[in-house]
Amino acid sequence: MATWDRLRDLSLRIDSYSLEGFEQGYSPEFTRYTTVFRLEGLGESGEGEDVIYDGLDHASLRDRGPELELAGEHTLGSFAELLDGLDLFPDPPVREDSRDYRRWAVESAALDLALRQAGRTLGDVLGRELRPLNYVVSMRLGAFGADEPEAADRLLDVLGRYPGTRFKLDPTNTWTPELIEELAATGAIDSLDLKGRYKDTPVDVDTDPELYRRVAEAFPDAWLEDPDLDDPDADAALEPHRDRITWDAPIHSIADIEALPFPPKTVNIKPSRFGALERLFAAYDFCAERGIAAYGGGQSELSIGRDHIQYLAALMHPDTPNDTAPKEFNLPRPPDGLPASPIDLPIAPTGFRFAS
């Protein structure tokens, strides 16, 4: 049975909904905004987090308030069909892919509410066992857009306080051979996000075939995520390492996986990139049927959205290098006392959420 077929007939009653805004400053250049949709029905609530990156889209949503016609008796399947016919944006989004992010917020809230109304957990409905979640800590060593050479200080600080932590790093154009050597000596790097599929964003990295070659050789066991293979020299630099190339930014559907330049060994399945629950669970099924490994990824969530991606990773692919660390690791200096990987998640007795 397809995974979505286990969920589509869950009953869902929505009486009303509300919105709650969150924000977190990470640097003078970057403040993160998110908005939580809270659906109410039959004395229960369900929550999902909108992780759109553009503050204008959050401001527009919050200013207009809960004006969508969501109330009524549904199933998860019929509710998804209702959303197909609604524009979730009071004003056009800054970026078109933001439509998937908001769709994920609403559908994940609906899933949480339907499960709470049914008195069940997601693992129970799917017939899957929740296992301890393996995570990596994702970071860029320097500030976005900085020109000075980056240093390993931030990583070494986390590693000193959390021995055994594994990392996913963003190599940038300021990485020196000395820094690469220092990082490789830690033996703590599981993944390198080359950011080659991002264009005209704050996280862009200029395609540098020599940087690709250096990091691929210095970290022979690390995954190489999102290289720019449209550049012939970059493609040639990574040709010997194709078994380690994986993808994130282009992956929104099964069609995107099928359209990759060669069959991947693994892909990053970020739930918010898929938007609809049906599309997300179809991708999980597709990868399982074809022996493609999956790992999870985050979007700097500030609220329940981080719980959701951790929950899904612990159900669907708990042992892979999931970029789903506790959200406090996104702070400039994470606090002490965070749970080490792997985590036993504190799942609530009902719903798609953690226990309070």
- Unique residue bearing structure tokens 């399945």: 269
Q: Which two tokens stand for residue 336?
A: 């002490």
Q: Is 347 exposed, middle or buried (0-12, 13-18, 19+ CB in 10 A)?
A: buried
Q: Letter for the amino acid at 134? A: N
| β-pair type (167-169, 189-193) | parallel
pLDDT band per the 50, 70, 90 thresholds, residue 259: very high
pLDDT at position 101 over 80: yes
- Paired tokens of 76: 């998860």
**Model confidence over 109-147: pLDDT tens digits?**
999 999 999 999 999 999 999 999 999 999 999 876 667
Cβ atoms of 79 and 19 within 8 Å: the answer is: no
- pTM for the whole structure: 0.95
Residue 206 pLDDT class (50, 70, 90 cuts): confident
Q: Give the lowest-confidence range in 15-29, 64-78, 125-139, 318-332.
A: 15-29
CATH 3.20.20.120 domain position(s) in the chain: 128-330
On whether the CB atoms of residues 169 and 188 are closer than 8 A, the answer is: no
Q: What is the pLDDT of residue 107?
A: 98
Return d(Cα 190, Cα 180) in angstroms, integer. Answer: 14
The average pLDDT across 254-265 equals 97
Q: What is the mean pLDDT of residues 91-109?
A: 97
286 near 267, Cβ under 8 Å?
no
What spatial distance separates the first Cα and last Cα of the chain, rounded to whole Å? Answer: 33
Categorize the per-residue pLDDT at 26 as very low, low, confident or very high, splitting at 50, 70 and 90: confident
- Judge contact between 280 and 274, C-beta under 8 A: yes
CATH topology of domain 3-125: Enolase-like; domain 1 (3.30.390)
User: What number is the average pLDDT over the span 234-247?
Assistant: 97
Domain 128-330: CATH superfamily, name plus number:
Enolase-like C-terminal domain (3.20.20.120)
Banded pLDDT at 202 (limits 50, 70, 90)? low
Give the range among 67-71, 203-207, 222-226 with minimum mean pLDDT. Answer: 203-207
204 secondary structure, DSSP code: -
Whether the pLDDT of residue 297 is over 70: the answer is yes
CB neighbours of residue 97 within 10 Å: 14
H-assigned helices in the chain = 55-64, 76-84, 98-118, 122-126, 153-161, 177-186, 209-218, 232-238, 254-258, 271-274, 277-289, 304-316
Query: pLDDT band at residue 47, thresholds of 50, 70 and 90?
Result: very high
DSSP state of 348: -
Residues of the chain with CATH 3.30.390.10: 3-125
Q: What share of the chain is helix, strand, coil (3-state, %, to 5)?
A: 35, 20, 45
Instruction: Say if residue 199's pLDDT is above 70.
Output: no
* pLDDT at residue 34 is higher than 90: yes
Share of the chain above pLDDT 70, in %: 97
**Mean pLDDT of all residues in 142-164:** 88
